[in-house]
Chain A
Amino acid sequence: MSADAVQDEYYHDLSYREDTPLVRTREGVELYCESTGEGIAITTLNNFFFTAPFWRDYTDELAKHYRVVSYDLCNHGHSTRLGQEPAWEEHAADLVGLLDALEIDSTYLLASSASTQLARDVALTYPDRVRGLVLAGPVVGPQIRRHRMLQRAWLRTLNSHDIPVLFSHMYPEFVSTQMIEEYGVPGFLGLRESFLAMSTPEELNNGLTLAQQGDPSTELLTRIQAPTLIALGDDDILLGPTAGHELAALFPNGRCAIMPKAGHVPFLDDPVGFQELVHKFIDEAEEHV
């Protein structure tokens, strides 16, 4: 790939908006939050490897039709740092506090990897606040043992080495074959720079540790009434297409969309195609409201 092509395709503006006020969600907790566009809300959920600004490039088309809200979880990014990593229940309560502060009655949740567990919990605990779920590269359901084994391996790598070595470990597991071949080593090194800019060892340690926790029961998914889209890359080594369809079938109102040649974070491979999937899903879900 030429330098110009990389420049065009490989863009991550990770800068924070300095004029954005923090939003108070509970006693002692304020969250960094960006809200773009108008209309039905879509709220993105970080998976401990992203920060709020990371979502801009993957929600820009959606923001032309909906109100996209991205925020940093408590103890991550530019949000309040507490002495102890919040539990999943506290992260869920923070999200509801954020919606209250932004005067959003209900929202679609757009989650990726580890944050699909948070999306599930919010949909179960606060069903009236959730219009629907988009779970990209989900780590809930029958495959959770494998997911947690992988996360523990990442955690051991982080604690035995450092973030660059962790990234080397993770990269071929979460990035698609096509992207690895297309971007080559310069793409790997550039994405590593973004990764280094977004996280500290402490944040990653806390996030990966929390990701090990939570109820692994598959039965929980059968109680979620909100329309649910599983967006899955067919090169996601954590969840194959057949298992993705089986997972979607557990939800009373679930479906699975396969993104060709995409990896565990499918919107990295095809930001436009991913947003078209989400747009179509929301439009159809809203027709049935």
Chain B
Amino acid sequence: MSDTAVEVRRRIRELLVDVFGGPSFVSTVHDAVSLREAGVPSTALVALLVAMEDAFGFEWADDVRPEVLRSIDSLAGHVVALRG
């Protein structure tokens, strides 16, 4: 696993703490687990997506598949892929 992927996941966790709740909750959310099933509501997901645009300097496309938004892992994978 690349350092870039590790760093992106760490940053996404920080953003999730900012937009949704304290670090105690976010620390219980594993990288591969479904954010929805973990209890992250769509409102927090939207806020996270907006925060990711600012943090990583890209804009979401409206044809991104739901699987990309599923977990911290999949979100990080998307960012890494965009960076080529």
Partners in one complex: yes
Residues of A within 8 A of B (CB): 1-4, 6-7, 10-14, 164, 168, 183-194, 196-197
Interface string of B64-80 (1 = CB under 8 A from A): 11100100000000000
A3 and B51 contacting across the interface, CB-CB below 8 Å: yes
Contact A186 B41 (CB under 8 A): no
Of A4, A184, A187, A196, the residue contacting B66 (CB under 8 A) is A196
Further 13 A-B residue pairs, CB within 8 A, beyond A7-B43, A186-B50: A11-B41, A11-B43, A14-B41, A164-B65, A164-B66, A184-B50, A184-B60, A185-B61, A187-B46, A188-B62, A189-B62, A190-B49, A191-B42
Interface size class of B (residues with CB under 8 A): 20 to 34
User: Inside 8 A of B48's CB, which chain A residues have their CB?
Assistant: 3
Q: What are 25 of the A-B contact pairs (CB < 8 Å)?
A: A2-B50, A3-B19, A3-B47, A4-B19, A6-B47, A7-B19, A7-B44, A14-B41, A164-B66, A168-B62, A184-B60, A186-B49, A187-B46, A189-B45, A189-B46, A189-B60, A189-B64, A189-B69, A190-B42, A190-B46, A190-B49, A193-B45, A193-B69, A194-B42, A196-B66
Nearest CB of chain B from residue A49's CB, rounded to whole Å: 15
Interface: B63 (CB within 8 A): yes
Do the beta carbons of A186 and B46 come within 8 Å of each other? yes
B1-35: CB near A (< 8 Å → 1, else 0) gives 00000000000000000110000000000000000
Which listed residue (B60, B65, B66) contacts A186, Cβ 8 A? B60
Distance of A168 Cα from B66 Cα, bound (Å):
12
Q: Give the A-B pair count, Cβ closer than 8 A.
A: 74
Interface of A is mostly: helix
Q: Smallest CB–CB gap between A234 and chain B, Å?
A: 25
Interface centre among B19, B46, B48, B66 (most CB of A within 10 A): B46
Summarize B's interface: helix, strand, loop or mixed: helix
- Greatest chain B CB density within 10 A among A183, A193, A196 is at A193
A196 to B51, CA, bound (A): 22
Chain B residues within 8 Å of A, Cβ to Cβ: 18-19, 36, 41-51, 53-54, 59-66, 69
- Alpha-carbon gap, A14 to B48, bound state (A): 19
Contacts of A192 in B (CB 8 A): 66
Cβ contacts under 8 Å, A11 to chain B? 41, 43
Pairwise interchain contact B41-A6, C-beta atoms closer than 8 A: no
Q: B46: nearest residue on chain A (CB-CB)?
A: A190
CB-CB < 8 A to B41: which residues of A?
11-14
Given contacts A3-B47, A11-B43, A186-B50, contact A193 B36 (CB under 8 A): yes
A14 CA to B61 CA in the complex, in Å? Answer: 25
Closest 7 CB pairs of A and B: A190-B46, A186-B49, A3-B47, A185-B60, A193-B42, A3-B51, A7-B47
